[in-house]
Amino acid sequence: AQSVAQPEDQVNVAEGNPLTVKCTYSVSGNPYLFWYVQYPNRGLQFLLKYITGDNLVKGSYGFEAEFNKSQTSFHLKKPSALVSDSALYFCAVRGFYNQGGKLIFGQGTELSVKP
């Protein structure tokens, strides 16, 4: 069965410090991996994706994520956090054999960046 785990419900970071939001996955075959961000009372915004190729993927707003096949992880990172990065972050996976483009989402991680 396909699944995604975000082990931390909340991550707290000081502004200017690096941030990491963790994600691990379980899927048959090669995974397609995604990160989304949600601001209060808004829909989800796409940040970045891994399909194939370079394990380090760069996305919107200075975020990047590293695909690690051996650890089945796809952690989201940013070198220097901003207060405006405070939001809810979702990791999602789609299996290679998936029909219809369905994604499996993690539970979400609340990121709080303090000044």
Partner 1 sequence: DVKVTQSSRYLVKRTGEKVFLECVQDMDHENMFWYRQDPGLGLRLIYFSYDVKMKEKGDIPEGYSVSREKKERFSLILESASTNQTSMYLCASSSPAEDSIEQFFGPGTRLTVL
The reply to whether 95 sits near partner 1 by the rule CB under 8 A is no
- Compute the distance between CA of residue 25 and CA of residue 34 in angstroms, rounded to an integer: 11
Region near partner 1 per CB under 8 A, out of 20-28, 44-52, 62-70, 74-82: 44-52
Nearer to partner 1, 19 or 48 (CB): 48
- Compute the distance between CA of residue 22 and CA of residue 90 in angstroms, rounded to an integer: 10
The reply to whether 5 sits near partner 1 by the rule CB under 8 A is no
Q: Cβ 44 to partner 1, closest distance in Å? A: 4
